[in-house]
Chains A and B, each alone.
Chain A
Amino acid sequence: MIHEDEARRLLQSAADTIDVTSTAPLPEPAPRRTPWLAAAAALVVLGAGAGIALGVGGDDDAAAPPATQRTDSTQTADDLPEGSVPPVLGMMVDDAKAELEAQGLTVRLETGYDCLYTDGRVMETEPGLGLVPDGAVTLTISQGIAPNVQCSGGLWEEDWAILDLAQGRAPADDPGFAPEVSVVVDGGAATTLTRAQALDPATWTPGSGLAIVGAALDAVRPPAEDGDAWQKAQVSSRFGLPPLTECGITRPGSEADLDVTTLSVDSRDQACGAAVQVYRQPPPDHRGLGEVVALVVRSPQTGSVEKVEVPDVRGLRKDDAREAIIAAGLAVTTNTERRCDPGTGVTQQTPKPGASAAGGDVVHLALQAEPKGANCAGLSKAANDLLTWARGGAAPRFADQVTLMRGYAETGTLSAAEAAGKGNWRNCPPAISFCLSALDAIADTDGPIQRRWDTDNMPQLDDGRYLVDCTADLGGLPDGFYDATRIHLYPPSSLPCNQQWEVSVWVDETGAITGVNYAPPR
């Protein structure tokens, strides 16, 4: 076993092997994501059935879409030099191997890790695309995400399964289609496919739905210099409700609260590559991916990227805020913070209102709601009652078992009757003969006792600084208390650090006190 001081020495020795440049420019606020062309618009929505029926309509206030035009890929695998490496990136290893061997090429396999290419798919070839191999072609097969790396913005197996279909292959995994899937292409009318139809590569005939994305993925570009590999568009993903109008194409609106992943084919030649927005019905428990209920496909478009002003949606209800953001040509994600005394509507937005953003950038909205299962009103009342009792009033209501903690470590439990006796609260550690209890701390403090929820920041002082946490941490909270909502009581912030304390109170669903922690000064 390694002691803590030795652990610090070892970690420091490891850190000392890492070179860091001495200077770097002071960071600026985080950059925005891939720019997209967009314009304001609003659309009518239809939602129905097990899947979702999608429709489009106009709005007089909608801004005219920017001038865009469709472009077509100019070169395909057929244009690659004879005997050269064909495009196999993203294919499953067996399919890629078979394709290469059918062309008379010898194959070697290696493995690697990747966030974009999922387990079993080709992530790299040596030599590269369009080059004639001297000997064997080495395929590097992804084993998925490296054990020590966590990725986001990569693709799931289900995403690749959709891209398999787009490229005319049977999907290697189940894309998770709902019994009915709506398909919309370039803002046109919705068509509905059954799950079986959607899963059949033959459904996606050239120029239709997913095949548009597939064609963009199949496009190849000759190298700038002889001897270099040919280039191929890459796919990327973005999570969040997309702008209503992006790249001049207006998507259907949706009444339902669906998860949306946009799979885009990045192309150097176009401002907006082909893309498919995959709409999933969130599973009831919000675990894993839901069923795909709609695919909204966009052909590659040319045109310039527009800057838009981020609207001010603070205070708006979630749905209204989302609508305003997407109408401005921006994508949106939301996150709800659970806290007692929640704010109304959107409490925070990033980027800030009035900021300039590229169309299609994601705006993150923060909302607040009461914690599920928390008894906020009961906590507030229990805190009042405890204060009153400590200063000579009536005892509060206790649960059958009350856990007392000191410095976040459990020191004992009391029955409801025992808890009503103040003398039982002096829960000193064995080595200390006299110590104050939470009740003593409250009773001995002059001035108003303040309170904050566990989700609140430390209180701000008159001079603008924030109160330093001067309380002692003597161990971890017992099971069940760390995650539970609680209310903190603390003395006037003007007291010096060595007189600061904090009392935390937990209650059950009836408002009876179940636990009290007294964090004494350090």
Chain B
Amino acid sequence: MEFSEYVAIRRARLVRSAVLLGCPEADAEDVVQTALSRALRAWRKVQRADSPDAYMQRILLNTLRDTRRRRWSGEIPTETLPDGGSPDDTQRQTDGVAVRQALAAMSSEHREVLVLRFYADLSERDTALALGLAPGTVKSRTSRALTALAATLDVTRSAR
């Protein structure tokens, strides 16, 4: 896949991945732009990777880790739900905000594995490649992260 084609298809998903991984929303587009710039420098290598998406997620993770001198309080800026929409939409947004709060509250290890497995939709093997872990570790960590997510969401929902 050509770089421009990849950007057109994947950019929005990468931006959302970055936010879910803990990047402040205001910075996410810049971070992804930086990650894509890095990927462009090694685009042939990305193309050749067993899983270009896993490779790209790894670049994104590294870029996030390289983000310099960010002042971030860790707050989720979507406390106030948007007005309007159907009840289903409202419930979905409520869930979405709760999930973001839950992700922000959990350890980066759990957050990364959840975002890569269930939002970036990487296989266990590709998640292992992106995170530099053994696939078995990804499996067990995913299980623990899902348990943590369930527990946090229960607390969040019961608090409402």
Let me know if B40 and A28 touch, CB within 8 A.
yes
Give the docked Cα–Cα distance between A388 and B125 (Å).
30
Known: A114-B71, A115-B70, A457-B45. A27 touches B40 (CB 8 A): yes
- Neighbour of A12 across the interface among B119, B128, B149, CB < 8 A: B119
Let me know if B65 and A150 touch, CB within 8 A.
yes
Let me know if A479 and B136 touch, CB within 8 A.
yes
Let me know if B114 and A16 touch, CB within 8 A.
no
Let me know if A148 and B104 touch, CB within 8 A.
yes
| From A24, A115, A466, residue with most partner B Cβ within 10 Å | A24
Which residue on A lies nearest to B7, using beta carbons?
A: A26
Chain B contacts of A29 at CB under 8 A? 37, 40-41
Let me know if B93 and A17 touch, CB within 8 A.
yes
- Does B111 belong to the interface (CB within 8 Å)? yes
Proximity string of chain B (43-63) to chain A, C-beta cutoff 8 Å, 1 when within and 0 when not: 001011111000000000000
- Neighbour of A30 across the interface among B41, B121, B137, B146, CB < 8 A: B41
Let me know if A31 and B37 touch, CB within 8 A.
yes
Let me know if B73 and A146 touch, CB within 8 A.
yes
Give the docked Cα–Cα distance between A486 and B136 (Å).
17
Q: For the side of the interface on B, what is the size category? A: 35 or more
Let me know if B41 and A24 touch, CB within 8 A.
no
Let me know if A152 and B68 touch, CB within 8 A.
yes
Interface of B is mostly: helix
Residues of chain B from 61 to 83 with CB closer than 8 A to chain A in the complex: 64-74, 78
Residues of chain B from 107 to 123 with CB closer than 8 A to chain A in the complex: 108, 111, 114-115, 117-119, 121, 123
Residues of chain A from 406 to 462 with CB closer than 8 A to chain B in the complex: 408, 457-458, 460
Which residue on A lies nearest to B12, using beta carbons?
A: A20
- Neighbour of B11 across the interface among A4, A14, A17, A24, CB < 8 A: A24
Let me know if A150 and B150 touch, CB within 8 A.
no
Which residue on A lies nearest to B108, using beta carbons?
A: A148
Let me know if B146 and A151 touch, CB within 8 A.
no
- Does B130 belong to the interface (CB within 8 Å)? no
**Complex interface: stretch among A63-71, A285-293, A390-398, A470-478:** A470-478
Chain B contacts of A22 at CB under 8 A? 12
- Neighbour of B20 across the interface among A14, A151, A478, A482, CB < 8 A: A14
Chain B contacts of A19 at CB under 8 A? 25
Q: How far is the CB of A66 from chain B (nearest CB, A)?
A: 28
Chain B contacts of A457 at CB under 8 A? 45, 48-50
Let me know if A473 and B108 touch, CB within 8 A.
no
- Neighbour of A115 across the interface among B68, B74, B125, CB < 8 A: B68
| From A12, A14, A147, A478, residue with most partner B Cβ within 10 Å | A14
Let me know if A27 and B37 touch, CB within 8 A.
yes
- Does A45 belong to the interface (CB within 8 Å)? no
- Neighbour of B111 across the interface among A16, A28, A148, A153, CB < 8 A: A148
- Does A495 belong to the interface (CB within 8 Å)? no
- Does B158 belong to the interface (CB within 8 Å)? no
Proximity string of chain A (1-20) to chain B, C-beta cutoff 8 Å, 1 when within and 0 when not: 11010011011111111111
- Does A483 belong to the interface (CB within 8 Å)? yes
Give the docked Cα–Cα distance between A238 and B119 (Å).
34
Q: How far is the CB of A198 from chain B (nearest CB, A)?
A: 27
Let me know if B136 and A478 touch, CB within 8 A.
yes
Let me know if B134 and A482 touch, CB within 8 A.
yes
Chain B contacts of A200 at CB under 8 A? none
- Does A149 belong to the interface (CB within 8 Å)? yes
Known: A148-B108, A482-B134. A7 touches B69 (CB 8 A): no
Let me know if B70 and A16 touch, CB within 8 A.
no
Chain B contacts of A150 at CB under 8 A? 64-65, 67, 108
Q: How far is the CB of A56 from chain B (nearest CB, A)?
A: 32
Chain A contacts of B11 at CB under 8 A? 20, 24
Chain A contacts of B121 at CB under 8 A? 8
Let me know if B118 and A27 touch, CB within 8 A.
no
- Does A21 belong to the interface (CB within 8 Å)? yes
Give the docked Cα–Cα distance between A477 and B135 (Å).
6
- Does A469 belong to the interface (CB within 8 Å)? yes
Chain B contacts of A475 at CB under 8 A? 124, 135-136, 139
- Does B86 belong to the interface (CB within 8 Å)? no
Give the docked Cα–Cα distance between A14 and B104 (Å).
11
Let me know if A30 and B128 touch, CB within 8 A.
no
Chain A contacts of B49 at CB under 8 A? 457-458
- Does A201 belong to the interface (CB within 8 Å)? no
Q: How far is the CB of B128 from chain A (nearest CB, A)?
A: 7
Give the docked Cα–Cα distance between A408 and B125 (Å).
9
Give the docked Cα–Cα distance between A503 and B36 (Å).
34
Q: How far is the CB of A317 from chain B (nearest CB, A)?
A: 23
| From B7, B15, B64, B99, residue with most partner A Cβ within 10 Å | B99
Let me know if A1 and B150 touch, CB within 8 A.
yes
Proximity string of chain A (109-136) to chain B, C-beta cutoff 8 Å, 1 when within and 0 when not: 0001111100000010000000000000
- Does A187 belong to the interface (CB within 8 Å)? no
Which residue on A lies nearest to B78, using beta carbons?
A: A17
Known: A15-B16, A15-B20, A482-B134. A113 touches B29 (CB 8 A): no
Give the docked Cα–Cα distance between A469 and B17 (Å).
24
Proximity string of chain A (312-355) to chain B, C-beta cutoff 8 Å, 1 when within and 0 when not: 00000000000000000000000000000000000000100000
Let me know if A482 and B111 touch, CB within 8 A.
no
| From A26, A114, A153, residue with most partner B Cβ within 10 Å | A26
Let me know if B73 and A476 touch, CB within 8 A.
no
Let me know if B37 and A28 touch, CB within 8 A.
yes
Chain A contacts of B25 at CB under 8 A? 18-19
Other than the known A24-B29, A30-B40, what 8 A-B pairs have Cβ atoms closer than 8 Å? A13-B93, A18-B16, A28-B40, A147-B74, A150-B64, A154-B68, A476-B136, A482-B136
The 4 closest A-B pairs by CB, nearest first: A476-B135, A476-B136, A482-B134, A14-B99
Can you sample 7 A-B contacts with CB below 8 Å? A17-B96, A17-B97, A27-B40, A148-B104, A148-B108, A152-B65, A477-B134
